[in-house]
Amino acid sequence: MSIPIELLDLHHIDRPIFVVMALLYLMLGSVTLVVAKRFNGDRHIQLRAQVYSWWRIFPVVSAALLFYPMGIVGLALLICTLAAIELAQYTPYLSHGFIFKALLMIVINLTFYYFGMLGNIAILCLVGLILTLLFIFIKNRHKTTLLWGVFSLTLLLFLVLVGLINMPLATKNNADWLLYLFAVTALNDIGQFIFGKTLGRKKIVPNISPNKTWIGLFGGICLSMIVSLSLGLYLNLADWQVLVILSLLLALAGFFGDISFSAAKRAMGIKDFSNLIPGHGGILDRVDSLTMTAPILYLLLLIIY
């Protein structure tokens, strides 16, 4: 079976995206060098692990953008699959295999529906699977509401990422907006973490997320604004006023996404969903902000365009 040539053709990607990716890798390299030299004590082990892990995350996201649109669909499927695996370990009274297969079938049906392969049949299957899972989670009351809520947000992320592919925007390539989304969300997280760890003192919600500080939040907002303006203007996405508003709303959305997942983990009595990504935790620990920033960006773009 041969791979369609259009899936391997990179001519549909605008040249500015390659420039932006190169700059992001250069920025990551600079941060890595600074962290390696200045934060080399035992106190900053988590900081180093988190920064180094971005070298695993960046190539995956870069490949998804380069092989747009199928790369984005594949990335969304990967996120949902890993999320299902992580959540299955917290349901000891149920069949892990059944839950995983059911959740995976939801994602597959959504993909088929998007590409028009199954039409309304996919929606019927989707509704049936959701109702079945909902019944099981209701019967198994401890932790299940939280698990369902977390996966629902992850599933919403899948829908938004796939929806952004076909969204009729005032740009030539919707991959530009996806790059913008990933960059602003990631650098907001990095800014909050680094500023919070190095300069933060006063906690925002110590009972939910002790590492969240006001300085960290402010640093994340500032870094998001810088990235939003520089990237948005370079890719000609919107006027600077719109980009400033987007950066502020996305930074706050990312913060609340992180807090929401932290609250769920605290209620479940766990620190991380898994140890898949050193310094970050599991895939759900990494996409917590994205589950909020992606829908917010999608809604804002619907309003703008």
State whether 12 and 73 are in the same domain. Answer: no
pLDDT the model gives residue 149: 66
pLDDT < 50 stretches in the chain: 1-9, 118-123, 137-138, 140-141
pLDDT the model gives residue 246: 95
Residue ranges making up the domain that contains 110: 69-166
Q: Of 166, 190, 205, which marks where a domain is finished?
A: 166
pLDDT the model gives residue 5: 41
State whether 64 and 185 are in the same domain. Answer: yes
State whether 205 and 253 are in the same domain. Answer: yes
State whether 276 and 185 are in the same domain. Answer: yes
How many separate domains does the chain show? 2
In degrees, rounded to 5, the angle at the alpha carbon of residue 84 between the alpha carbons of residues 81 and 88 is: 145
State whether 104 and 3 are in the same domain. Answer: no
Per-residue pLDDT tens for 123-137?
Answer: 455 555 555 555 554
State whether 56 and 75 are in the same domain. Answer: no
User: CB–CB of 292/160 below 8 Å?
Assistant: no
State whether 53 and 179 are in the same domain. Answer: yes
pLDDT the model gives residue 2: 40
pLDDT the model gives residue 259: 87
